[in-house]
Amino acid sequence: MSIPFPRSAISFIFSLVLMADLPLAADAPGPDSWQAGVASVVITPQEPMWMAGYAARDKPSEGTLQDLFAKALAIQDPDENRVVIVTMDLIGVLTELRENVAARVEESYGLPPAALMLNASHTHCGPEYRPRSGREEEARAYQAFLEETLVTLVGQALDQLAPADLACSRARAGFAMNRRLLTDRGYRIRPNPDGPVDHDVPVLTATDPRGDLRAVLFGYACHNTTLSFYQFCGDYAGYAQEYFEADHPGATALFVTGCGADQNPHPRREVKYAQQHGRTLATAVEAAVTANPQPLRGRLQYDLDTVLLDRAGGDQEPFPYPIQVFQFGDQLTLIALASEVVVDYSLRLKEELAGDALVWVAGYSNGYFGYIPSRRVLEEGGYEAGPWEPTVEDRIVDKVHEMVGELRK
Ligand SMILES: [Zn+2]
C-alpha cells in the first residue's frame, strides 16, 4: 500500500523580510506589545484514502476538490505568556495525536500542553485516520505525517511572532440549522428550523504595525456536512477560509468549530451550496472584523483540566473529559470543549458567563470520541443522545465556571 504524502511547503506570514523594512508608526506597538505569528501547511493526502464521517461510504477518495490545511496562530502577551491555536480541515482531533503533539511541542519549544489548543473543522470530506479494518496502514501513516507536520507548524508560528494589535468581535451567519426533528418515530436527523441554534461568528484578528490584517481566527457552530462525495474538500469552512484569504492577500484565515454537533448546514449535497455557505461565513467574518473590534489588553492566561464524566450503564470507569480555557485580558474568554458538543452548551455558557468579555465556546477540540449531549438531548433521545449519564451537562458546565472563575480573578 502506498503511503499518502502531502505536497506543498509551509507558508508563512510575518516574514522577516516583510517586517525588517517596515518603519514603525509613531503609535506602533513597542517591545512590550502583544505579538502574533501564523503558519499554514497543506495536509491533503496525496494518495487515495478512506474518508471520514459517513459510514455509508464504500470506496476510498477519488481526488481533491479543495486542499485541506492545518494552520497555527501563536499569540504572546506583553509578559511573554504564549498560546498556540491549531486548526485543521479534518474530522476530529484524536486523543493520541493531541497527546503526542503536545508532548513534542513542550519538549521542542517549551510551550506547556495547557497553552496548546487543537481544533478540527469536522469536515466529512477529509481522510479517516482512525485505524479502519483492512486499512490500518494508511491511517497510521497519515497520523504519523500529521504529528510531524503539526509539531513543525507550531514551531513556525512561534518563530513568526512579531508585534501585532489583537482585537475580538463578532457577527452572525444563518445557514446552520438544528438537525433534530421530533417525528412519530422519535427524534430523527431532519432539518428543524424551530430548534436551537448558535449563529454567532466570533472573530479574533491580528494586525501588523502597518495596519495590515495578518490573521483572522473565526468560529461557527455547524457540521461541515454540506458535501458527502468522494473528493477531499474543506466544505463550507474550507471555502470561507479560502474566500477570506483571497479577499485579504497576506492574511491567513483559521476556522474553529463551535458546538455544532446537532447543527447541519442547509441546503446541502451540492458543491455550490458549500461555496455559498463559505461566502456567507466569509462575509460574516468581514462584518465582524469591521464591527466594533475590541482591542485585547492586559494579560493572557490559560488552563487545561479534565472533569470525570459517568458513562450510561455505570459499569465503566468515569471518562476524563478535557476542558481548556484561554483568557485574553478582560476582552475575550475562549473555552475549548472536546469532541462533538451540542449547541445547548455554547448557548448556556455564553448566557451564564456573559459580562464585559466576549465568550467564545469551541467544540471539537483536543479530543474526538463521540457526541457530548446536553441533559435535554439525553432526555429527548435520538442520534446524538449517548452514551453518558444525564449529569454530563452540569459536570462540564460547573467545571468551566470553576476554571473561568480562576482565570478571571
Ligand atoms: Zn459529527
- Note the Cα 179 to chain centre separation in Å: 21
Say how many Å lie between the CA of residue 404 and the centre of ligand 1: 27
Say how many Å lie between the CA of residue 407 and the centre of ligand 1: 31
Say how many Å lie between the CA of residue 265 and the centre of ligand 1: 12
Say how many Å lie between the CA of residue 360 and the centre of ligand 1: 20
pLDDT of residue 37: 98
Say how many Å lie between the CA of residue 180 and the centre of ligand 1: 13
Pair 310, 374: CB distance under 8 Å: no
Say how many Å lie between the CA of residue 122 and the centre of ligand 1: 7
Say how many Å lie between the CA of residue 161 and the centre of ligand 1: 34
Cα gap 33→368, rounded to integer Å = 36
- Is residue 30 predicted with pLDDT exceeding 60? no
Say how many Å lie between the CA of residue 160 and the centre of ligand 1: 34
Say how many Å lie between the CA of residue 337 and the centre of ligand 1: 14
Residues 14-24, mean pLDDT to the nearest whole number: 37
Q: Which tens digits make up the pLDDT trace of 44-89?
A: 999 999 999 999 999 999 999 999 999 999 999 999 999 999 999 9
Q: Which tens digits make up the pLDDT trace of 241-295?
A: 999 999 999 999 999 999 999 999 999 999 999 999 999 999 999 999 998 899 9
CA distances from 33 to 133, 165, 171, 252 (A): 51, 8, 27, 21
Q: Is 85 exposed, middle or buried (0-12, 13-18, 19+ CB in 10 A)?
A: buried
Cell match 451540542: residue?
Answer: 342
Instruction: Summarize the chain as % helix, strand, coil (round to 5).
Output: 30, 30, 40
pLDDT of residue 8: 44
Residues 175-180, mean pLDDT to the nearest whole number: 98
Helix (H) or strand (E) holding 360: strand 358-362
Residues 119-140, mean pLDDT to the nearest whole number: 95
Say how many Å lie between the CA of residue 126 and the centre of ligand 1: 13
Q: Which tens digits make up the pLDDT trace of 203-238?
A: 999 999 999 999 999 999 999 999 999 999 999 999
User: What are the residue ranges spanned by the domains of the chain?
Assistant: 1-409
By mean pLDDT, which of 61-65, 307-311, 384-388 is the weakest?
384-388
pTM: 0.93
Q: How many Cα atoms occupy the beta-carbon half-sphere of 225 within 13 Å?
A: 20
Say how many Å lie between the CA of residue 158 and the centre of ligand 1: 31
Residues 22-26, mean pLDDT to the nearest whole number: 40
